[in-house]
């Protein structure tokens, strides 16, 4: 089994702050991490390799700093890492990103045929959940999104069975290899990397592919030019005009506070009062 796992380096959005006066993002010092959702994809690929043999290649498109994310993946057990990096990719939206990644994965396939492509469910900065479906479409692969479990892989029959989270239930799907899987979060637990892998990751080469090496055929489909969407405006959410009405009573007991709160809800929110009356 040869799996390719797409990982993206993202800013840790939990640590992003908006400047209270200028309303701009304070990006300095915000650490870059591997998109957390992609780790579930990586772990699943590693498990298949451990079970069936084969290799796991990780790939990322981004600036040279994104090599750090790939090294992290190597230290967790991935076998090879490729960074698709070129100024021509800058400003890519998901459509242009999936075009570039699909081309690069085809190149990987020329070295060693690819059985499975994995992506995370979504990124925490782009958040579109579109790059996975986009790659599948462009490569003509069967698409399995929101996979919660890989039930069975039969390499000799070129078949795979998975469970997919759907609205109102779980679909058990069977399809043909190669295919693309977007892995649902919390579907597995990421391993701790081993010491030998950590040592190997520090030394191993991360190959950098520019647009030629990545096999890009149509340069109008990458970067800003290949992106049908643009961000026309960025702004901070408007704060609610009024802050909370604080319920406070000097020397009040919890019971007094509770009673006061119920009174204020009844006074200000008749809709809530009506809802409560229905439940009586």
Ligand X SMILES: Cc1cc2nc3c(=O)[nH]c(=O)nc-3n(C[C@H](O)[C@H](O)[C@H](O)COP(=O)(O)OP(=O)(O)OC[C@H]3O[C@@H](n4cnc5c(N)ncnc54)[C@H](O)[C@@H]3O)c2cc1C
Q: Which residues contribute to the site for ligand X (CB under 6 A)? A: 13-14, 124
Nearest to 128 by CA among 1, 229, 272, 197: 229
14 vs 262, beta carbon nearer ligand X: 14
Q: How far is the CB of 165 from ligand X (least distance, A)?
A: 16
What is the total count of residues that contact ligand AMP (CB under 6 A)?
23
Locate 210 and state its tokens.
């520019």
Contact between 8 and ligand AMP per CB under 6 A: yes
Q: Which residues pair with 4 in a beta bridge?
A: 57, 117
Nearest to 85 by CA among 217, 206, 220: 206
115 to 144: interface string for ligand AMP, x by CB under 6 A: ----xx-xx--xxxxxxx------------
27 vs 264, beta carbon nearer ligand AMP: 27
Q: Three-class SS of residue 228?
A: coil
Residues 40-99 that bind ligand AMP (CB under 6 A): 60-62, 94, 97
Q: How far is the CB of 166 from other proteins (least distance, A)?
A: 6
94 vs 122, beta carbon nearer ligand X: 122
Q: How far is the CB of 124 from ligand X (least distance, A)?
A: 4
**Closest residue by beta carbon to ligand AMP:** 120
Q: How far apart are CA 171 and CA 146, in angstroms?
A: 10
Q: Three-class SS of residue 90?
A: coil
Q: Which residues pair with 80 in a beta bridge?
A: 57
Q: Which residues pair with 56 in a beta bridge?
A: 3
Q: How far is the CB of 214 from ligand AMP (least distance, A)?
A: 12
By a kind-dependent CB cut-off of 5 to 8 A, residue 165 interacts, out of other proteins, ligand X, ligand AMP, none, with other proteins
- Cβ-in-10-Å burial (0-12, 13-18, 19+) of 133 comes to middle
By a kind-dependent CB cut-off of 5 to 8 A, residue 195 interacts, out of ligand AMP, ligand X, other proteins, none, with none
Nearest to 101 by CA among 191, 163, 38: 38
Q: How far is the CB of 27 from ligand AMP (least distance, A)?
A: 18
Helices (H), 53-182: 67-75, 94-111, 131-139
Residues 160-219 that bind ligand AMP (CB under 6 A): none
Give, in order, the Cα–Cα distances in Å from 207 to each of 57, 81, 147.
Answer: 11, 6, 29
62 vs 77, beta carbon nearer ligand AMP: 62
User: Residue numbers of the site for ligand AMP (CB under 6 A)?
Assistant: 6-8, 35, 37-38, 60-62, 94, 97, 101, 119-120, 122-123, 126-132
């Amino acid at each position: 089994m040869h799996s390719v796992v797409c990982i993206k380096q993202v800013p840790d959005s939990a640590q992003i702050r908006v400047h209270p006066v200028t309303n701009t993002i304070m990006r300095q010092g915000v650490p870059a991490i591997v998109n957390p959702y992609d780790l579930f994809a990586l772990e699943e690929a590693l498990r298949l390799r451990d079970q069936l043999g084969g290799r796991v290649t990780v790939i990322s498109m981004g600036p040279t700093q994104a090599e750090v994310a790939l090294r992290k993946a190597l230290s967790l057990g991935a076998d090879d890492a490729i960074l698709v990096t070129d100024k021509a990719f800058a400003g890519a939206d998901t459509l242009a990103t999936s075009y570039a990644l699909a081309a690069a994965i085809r190149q990987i396939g020329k070295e060693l045929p690819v059985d499975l492509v994995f992506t995370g469910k979504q990124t925490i900065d782009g958040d579109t959940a579109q790059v996975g479906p986009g790659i599948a479409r462009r490569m003509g692969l069967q698409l399995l999104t929101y996979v919660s479990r890989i039930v069975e892989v039969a390499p000799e029959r070129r078949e795979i069975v998975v469970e997919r989270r759907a609205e109102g239930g779980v679909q058990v799907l069977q399809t043909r290899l190669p295919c693309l899987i977007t892995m649902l979060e919390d579907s597995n637990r990421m391993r701790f990397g081993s010491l030998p892998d950590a040592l190997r990751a520090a030394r191993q080469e991360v190959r950098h592919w520019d647009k030629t090496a990545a096999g890009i055929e149509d340069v109008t489909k990458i970067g800003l030019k290949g992106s049908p969407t643009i961000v026309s405006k960025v702004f901070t959410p408007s704060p609610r005009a009024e802050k909370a009405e604080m319920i406070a009573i000097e020397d009040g007991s919890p019971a007094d506070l509770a009673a006061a709160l119920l009174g204020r809800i009844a006074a200000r929110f008749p809709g809530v009062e009506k809802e409560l009356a229905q439940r009586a």
